[in-house]
Structure 1
Amino acid sequence: MFSPLSVTLVSGERDAVLVDPPLTTAQTEQVGDWVEASGKRLTHIVVTHGHGDHWFGAPTLAERFGAQVVASAGTTTQMEANARLRPTFWDALFPGQIPDAPVTAVVPDGNRIDLEGHELRIVEVGHTDTDDTSVLHVPDLGLVVAGDVVYNGVHQFLREAQGDGIARWLQALDVVAGLRPRFVVAGHKDERLDDDATRTVAETRAYLRAAAELLGTTRTALEFFDAMLGRFPDRLNAGALWSGATTLLPREP
């Protein structure tokens, strides 16, 4: 139906921070029960970018746990855009399944929050699979929770890659690599794969470079789609690839 979603809980001894809550009411309830079972006090919910599948559950979870939703200024603007788009796009995909989701995110001072004395940094990286994206960097863990900046075994969403979108996405990956993480949690990942930072960043780059090459040599969406499937046959959710293909190339020669 959709690309698998990753939801990350960064926890200390008592408190925790949740990153990118999911989309539907059922998923949100499941994640809430998971957080409750951890025994941690949820202080913040971080949203890395504006796509609704990574935050529509945030207001419900914030109310349940008394947590604060935080995001960069650019991400907050994109969240508002996705809220406006919701009736014609998100609700059409998941009718009656998405909870009420007003944009309640605030921008933390310096794009930083504290978790029991450990600094968590929202790092803005610009355009990736949408505009104004960010990652959450946890230096003390060597961790980057990457949202949709990095994909892991899942076809990448290229629908917003018009113009210089792929080049800008590659630049964002350079920013992530510059943080020198050991682990990267991708927003969409095959659960059978690990979170090795070097591999996931390299594979996301390779996919983008292949897409850029094939966009210059294929004439139609189907040609591009088939060529990308030939190079990346094991990635999940070819529907995401088809969505991008039909946006970037004509269906007919």
Structure 2
Amino acid sequence: MSSTSGLAYAVRTATRQGLTRDLPHGPDDLQWVANTATLIYGDRDAVLVDTYTSIEQNAELVEWVTSFGRQLTHIFITHGHGDHFFGIGQLLEAFPEAKAIASKGTVAGAHTQGEPRWRDGFWEKLFPGQIPEITYPEPLDGGFFELEGHRLEVMEMGYTDTVDTTSLWVPDLGLVVAGDVAYNDTPSVHRRNHPGEPRALGSGCRTSRRARSRRRGRRTQEAEHARPPDDSGPDRRLSA
């Protein structure tokens, strides 16, 4: 999607097996989770918001970003869950001039997820042999960064499906890349979001209203977990 500002964005969706494997028998779509990655780009440069879980999916993400022919300057991570930042190392190998950045809270959460009890005891058990070597984002100094002179603002969203989550607001596109603040037509029921984390059912809806208030009626909100666009479900973009 493009605008008169000179910026545009594109969204890529990848489907993986969900984290909760002992669900009762029911519809097959309760077993999958779709992650999205958003590329915001101008004439020369681009910013990627979030990565994927597995080595294979992140390799496909590298190919997708490369196909736009832009220089990747930043990889912004919305929160510290592994399925959003595990691909940093593969992206930086392909784009060594890029910087992986996040809020201080997200960086702290990512370091927790990188501990052996999480990487090996949780993620590797669910996705054996598929978890990349971990590279962490660096803390962003300030509440915004720029893409070709356009301001991209970090929105601190508090607790959604984990602590210290953020969204990215792009005023010149009227775009909020919501992270896990918003789910769109994809399963979002958690007994616990990850082992040891408290329940947060419904908190994403409250924080989504905060995001809409911040946007003051502007156009588009991209959900980080959304039904793939070639499916029969609704468009993944949430109305303003």
TMscore range, shorter length: 0.7 to 0.9
2:174 aligned residue: 142
The alpha-carbon deviation at position 41 of structure 1 amounts to: 0.2
- Distance in 1 (alpha carbons) for counterparts of 2:126 and 2:109: 19
- Distance in 1 (alpha carbons) for counterparts of 2:171 and 2:183: 21
8 Å contact from structure 2 (residues 184, 226) kept in 1: yes
1:75 aligned residue: 106
- Counterpart of 2:61 in 1: which secondary structure? helix
Q: Per the alignment, do residues 166 and 60 of structure 1 end up closer, same or farther by CA in structure 2, a change over 3 Å counting?
A: same
* 2:187 is aligned with 1:155: yes
* 2:138 is aligned with 1:106: yes
**1:6-85 equivalences in 2 (<5 Å):** 6-66=36-96, 67-84=98-115, 85=118
The alpha-carbon deviation at position 162 of structure 1 amounts to: 3.8
8 Å contact from structure 1 (residues 47, 75) kept in 2: yes
Runs of 4+ residues over 4 Å off in structure 1: none
Give the number of equivalent residue pairs.
Answer: 197
- Distance in 1 (alpha carbons) for counterparts of 2:182 and 2:42: 25
8 Å contact from structure 2 (residues 104, 140) kept in 1: no
8 Å contact from structure 1 (residues 129, 148) kept in 2: yes
2:219 aligned residue: 182
* 2:239 is aligned with 1:198: yes
Q: Per the alignment, do residues 98 and 116 of structure 1 end up closer, same or farther by CA in structure 2, a change over 3 Å counting?
A: same
8 Å contact from structure 2 (residues 161, 204) kept in 1: yes
Q: Deviations over 1:95-135 (max 9, x none)?
A: 111110132x1222312111001001111101001111000
8 Å contact from structure 1 (residues 183, 195) kept in 2: no
The alpha-carbon deviation at position 171 of structure 1 amounts to: 3.6
- Distance in 1 (alpha carbons) for counterparts of 2:50 and 2:140: 16
- Distance in 1 (alpha carbons) for counterparts of 2:204 and 2:220: 19
- Counterpart of 1:79 in 2: which secondary structure? helix
The alpha-carbon deviation at position 197 of structure 1 amounts to: 3.1
Higher Cα Rg, which structure: 1
- Distance in 2 (alpha carbons) for counterparts of 1:90 and 1:59: 17
8 Å contact from structure 1 (residues 125, 134) kept in 2: yes
- Identical-residue share of aligned pairs (%): 41
Unaligned stretches of 5+ in structure 2?
1-16, 19-32
Unaligned stretches of 5+ in structure 1?
200-253
1:95 aligned residue: 128
Letter of the 2:62 counterpart: G
The match for 1:172 among 201, 207, 217 is 207
The match for 1:120 among 152, 159, 164 is 152
Letter of the 2:124 counterpart: D
- Counterpart of 2:114 in 1: which secondary structure? helix
